[in-house]
Chains A and B, each alone.
Chain A
Amino acid sequence: MPLATPPAPHLTRTRAAVTATGLWRAYGSGEAQVVALRDVSVEFASGAFTAIMGPSGSGKSTLMHCLAGLDTTDRGTVNIGDATITGLGDKALTRLRRDKIGFIFQQFNLLPTLTAEENIQLPASIAGAKADPEWLRRVIDTLDLRDRLTHKPTELSGGQQQRVACARALATRPEVVFADEPTGNLDTRSSGEVLRFLRKSVDDFGQTIVMVTHDPSAAAYADRVVFLADGQIVHDLREPTADTVIDTMRGFENRVPLAGEAR
């Protein structure tokens, strides 16, 4: 099995949307200290769909949280576009998340008091602005949400809710969208819809997406899969398929026997 595949033709753009350099992150202290990230350096190319995989406790969520400015790092730097976010205060980080980052959560996390449309507008509303209506129309149409806009989240199925969440993440045309197990709570059909949309948004809109998942078939939608184990990047897979992902995982499952749950 090759350690790395050559980059896909449309990924040859040099600009990186997110860059991490020498990231260290540890929790607790003394005996109980757990090192979640050890010297992780990784680049996420602009306009690419990258999946982060790894067994539980491998540090994949920590990596995403550090990249998104939700968690602090002990050492190393994170850049979003040209901006270094490491060391920024809460205010600056909050503004950065608002303007440059989109989020998709496993739990959808829509506000039950707002309609679908209002939920999509949420990041813009928080910023005291309105999203570009032309762009919004495109996103909504792509996600097939037009006739659901006036519905409250409780009146929507899980798949529809996650599509609303996707639209919310894209509404402000962020530099990068972080998706944390976006299909973890969905059935196969809805998962497919959401993943196809993510793929489409990369291909058609040039959106950068970083997705944490433990589902090989979800990872197969990505351009590239970064494997984490024990706080380190252990593999970088280009042009993945479900099979190559499973093979890769099996490969280091044997190598790292302490890894727990790995479906």
Chain B
Amino acid sequence: MLRAALKGMAARKARLALTSIAVVLGAAFIAAALVLTASIQSTVADLNGDSYTGADVIVQPVEPETSAERHVRDGVAASTLAAIEADEDVAAVSTTVTWMVNAIGDDGKIVGGLSPTLAINWGDESVERELREGRGPEADGEVAVSAQFAADAGLGLGDDVTAYSLSSDKTAYEIVGVYGYAGGRDSLSGATELAFTTPDAQRLVFDGQDVYTAVAVTAAEGVDADTLLAAIGDDLGPESQAMTWDDYIAEANAENAKATSIVGYFLLGFGLIAVFVSVFLIANTFTIVIAGRLKEIAMMRAIGASRGQIIRSVLTEAVLLGTGASIVGTGLGIAAGAGLTSLVADNLLDTATTNVTVPLSAPLAALAVGIGVTVLSALVPAMRASRIPPVEAMREAVKSDKPIVALTVTGALVTLAGAAAIALGLNGVFDGDRTNLVATAAGAGVVFIGVSLLTAWLSKPVVSLLGTVWAWSFAGRLGRLNASRNPRRTAVTAAALMIGVTLVTATATLLTSVKESLNAQFESTVKAELFITGPLTSTVPATFDPALMDEVRAVDGVGTAVELYRDITLIDGTEQSVYASTDLFGAVDQFGGEVVEGSMDDVGDGEIAVNQWSADQLGVGVGDTVAATFSRGEEAHEFTLAAILADNEESDGWYVTTAYTDEFYTPKPTLALVDVADGADVEAVTGDLETLLAGEPEVSVQNHEDYLAQLTVFFDYAIIAIQLLLALAMIVAVIGVINTLVLSVLERTRELGMLRAIGMTRGQSTRMVTVESVTIALFGALLGIGTGLGLGWVLQLALADSGIGEFAVPTALIAAYLGAAVLVGLLAAIAPAVRASKVNILGAISYE
């Protein structure tokens, strides 16, 4: 039987090769994901291993319990440092002071965008630095910069650079040195760096407090790390904690592993989708191959082969195909993983060396999934093959389509069940919002499966409808008829495309709806026409001088203008968003907020206002007292609740006077709302404001559209990312359509020969096959778009209470999907159409 399987496969090399591409892709994605993840982790581990080389114990401030922004207050105290230095078990100590700062480049703009600019104290040993020019800073007012910073800022030795942090004023420093890193690198992970004297660094990072980000301790001769750790324990103040260097590195590696595994999961997801879609492709190919061998199998049954032998022979083929394809896929995947690692290392990590690691799990998982999926997909066709009665060998081949009734009934029942779950979930029949949401989402998934089962039944009407497009051409009409000739085959072929299109359409619809809902919400509540603010992506919040507000208000045509400060504050022990403004009523009003209790008019120092939901969360009402500790604040302030606002996405939060902004993480305003007076020209006001803000490098004047685009940019990225998914599904779909068409052309050789004999031109036969191909692809895409829109709509309805009130159709994307489907059809038609037009007429019609 093995010999027969091998020979059979050799005879169908081309089709098997096409089919195996899907398995190859799936296995490759899985292997690449695992290799990339492991390689990046080991590369980063190497990189981490270089930090604080030679140190035995690292002392750091106690982890802030809350968000990272609050870290500004925290550092290893000078008293702790002094105690450690005095310890007799200690040989040497080095300190680190670092955080993000703003630096202004040669062009007057802030240096860097997505990658941060860091201030550091010269003498820090967390990484190895190599001076290239000049010297390190020796006096306050001097700075050495990384080569990357010098390049990005367009500044060099002897130039002055202006740097400042959120809490410090703009100060000019003289560049006295330029340095790089071990391995001749200009930067680490793309970040730019400025190295100051320790006091300068502390001024920028810690508001001038004598505290440190980290202290690296080297043990004295004969003292091991654990002994040192124990000894240092007594020296530490309550603000600090210590760990051995080994633990520190392990912790850093674990952090990185967490971050890199996200990339890995993403690739794994792609792999699994490729594998899922290829199930259809493989099952279809085996069905097709078996259909082509009907007589042969019947003959084998007639001469005594058992049903088990037939199943085994088909499965043997599947195992061989799966193994071959998985091995190729694994190899490609490992190579791709290695290639991606060096790409990531070069562009994101800036490491000099990469450490490509191939975990055993990579080939194992890729092979297991590749072979498993192939065999599972071949199971149903194999069973079907075994049921071919021996008498088929004698019968004249009359291939009647298997009825699709059972399939259709099952599909209809599944779809109805899913729809019922959706209906119940949307109408809130179940207890609890969560249960209802889960019921709706699960129902949507079930409907998706149901519709997939219904594809065969749907193919006839939809394909006829599509056929009207080609009605003008006779060859096109024949192609359309051919497409609906075998609904089962057409359906399975189209399903591969449908799945991908459904997923992306549903996601794109939901994301677009979320975006539109945000837009609608924003447009209907926010009164101000213009915003003065910086890019949301900047690592240090963009701020401007509050003194400018008077000038802003004086601009002709400006009605109301209010500035806003923002902080993440601990209020009664929980993190809350707090805003401050000199015009609190104006701020709330511009955001469309309304006072429901108390009054916003004269909220004074020691008073606070908040929206209803937040007040309920803390269980406070007007007249109650709350305790608030601001980011840079040393201790809590007492506030009396003066007013409660109606809930409203835009204005939700706590409001205090500007008396406390010095204790905010960002002590300067980050946003100003400008309401243009009725009748004033918005364009003109924008121009005047821009002139006014010429000296503020961080902020710009934005209208609603600009501002919303910033808020919703994430959704745009997410939508782009899911298009990659579609591209993958498309590749698999092309292969599937080619497979089906090649088979159809083979099956219809005689027919094609006859058509050519009675006068059909090559062009006509090419058109006929192309129309069949495009019709199948469009059918898949239309079904996917329909299902995707439906699912997206259901999800939007289910989430309507969570703020997604608008249903928006991503029209441009849907048009693009249809275009892509046509492209898939055209591409897939090339080979089969050429084959059809080259049919040997004599061979096709002679009968022997």
Contact = CB atoms under 8 A, between A and B. Distances in A.
B761 A94 contact: yes
Given A61-B846, A126-B760, A109 B750 contact: yes
B655 to A, nearest CB: 73
Q: Lowest 4 CB-CB distances: which A-B pairs, in order?
A: A98-B759, A113-B481, A109-B754, A125-B474
A197 interface: no
A181 interface: yes
B485 A113 contact: yes
B755 interface: yes
Interface of A: 61, 65, 68, 70-71, 90-91, 94-95, 97-99, 101-103, 105-107, 109, 111-114, 122-123, 125-128, 154, 168, 180-181, 184
B842 interface: yes
Contact of B478 (A68, A97, A101, A113): A113
Interface in B711-758: 750-751, 753-758
Contacts of A112: 485
Given A98-B760, A123-B758, 9 more contacts: A70-B842, A91-B761, A98-B759, A103-B757, A113-B481, A122-B755, A127-B759, A128-B474, A168-B758
Contact of B759 (A71, A95, A107, A114): A95
Contacts of B753: 109
Contact of B847 (A102, A107, A128): A107
Given A61-B846, A103-B757, A109 B481 contact: no
A180 B758 CA distance: 13
A70 B842 CA distance: 7
Contacts of B846: 61
A61 B845 CA distance: 11
Contacts of A113: 478, 481-482, 485
A126 B845 contact: no
Interface in B833-848: 841-842, 845-847
B285 interface: no
Contact of A65 (B481, B751, B755, B842): B842
B114 to A, nearest CB: 58
B762 interface: yes
B658 interface: no
B750 A107 contact: yes
A248 to B, nearest CB: 25
B759 A70 contact: no
Interface centre among B475, B750, B757 (most CB of A within 10 A): B757
Contact of A94 (B475, B482, B756, B847): B756
Given A114-B481, A184-B847, A123 B759 contact: yes
- Interface size class on chain B is 20 to 34
20 contacts: A65-B842, A70-B841, A70-B842, A98-B759, A101-B758, A105-B847, A109-B751, A109-B845, A111-B478, A111-B481, A111-B751, A112-B485, A113-B482, A114-B481, A123-B759, A126-B755, A126-B760, A127-B759, A128-B474, A180-B845
Contacts of A91: 761
A127 B760 CA distance: 8
Nearest to B477: A125
Interface string B129-154: 00000000000000000000000000
A122 B474 CA distance: 9
Contacts of A111: 478, 481, 751, 755
B761 A103 contact: no
A70 B757 contact: yes
Contacts of A95: 759, 761
A103 B758 contact: yes
A126 B481 contact: no
B611 interface: no
B772 to A, nearest CB: 11
Interface majority SS (helix, strand, loop, mixed), chain A: mixed
A99 B847 contact: no
Interface of B: 398, 400, 474-475, 478, 481-482, 485, 750-751, 753-762, 764, 841-842, 845-847
Contacts of B760: 94, 98, 126
Contacts of B482: 113
Given A111-B751, A125-B474, A128-B474, A106 B761 contact: no
A61 B755 CA distance: 19
A92 to B, nearest CB: 11
Contacts of B751: 109, 111
Contacts of B845: 105, 107, 109, 180
Contacts of A122: 755, 758
Nearest to A100: B759
A94 B841 CA distance: 11
Nearest to B753: A109
Nearest to B485: A113
B478 A181 contact: no
Nearest to A56: B848
Contacts of B750: 107, 109
B776 to A, nearest CB: 15
Contacts of A105: 754, 845, 847
A126 B474 contact: yes
A3 to B, nearest CB: 31
B398 to A, nearest CB: 8
A90 B838 CA distance: 11
Interface centre among B400, B478, B759 (most CB of A within 10 A): B759
B640 to A, nearest CB: 83
A225 to B, nearest CB: 21
B759 A97 contact: yes
A53 to B, nearest CB: 17
A19 to B, nearest CB: 21
A162 to B, nearest CB: 13
Contacts of B847: 105-107, 181, 184
Contacts of A126: 474-475, 755, 758-760, 764
Contacts of B755: 111, 122, 126
Contacts of B485: 112-113
Contacts of A101: 758-759
A99 B759 contact: yes
Nearest to B483: A113
A229 B751 CA distance: 30
B380 to A, nearest CB: 26
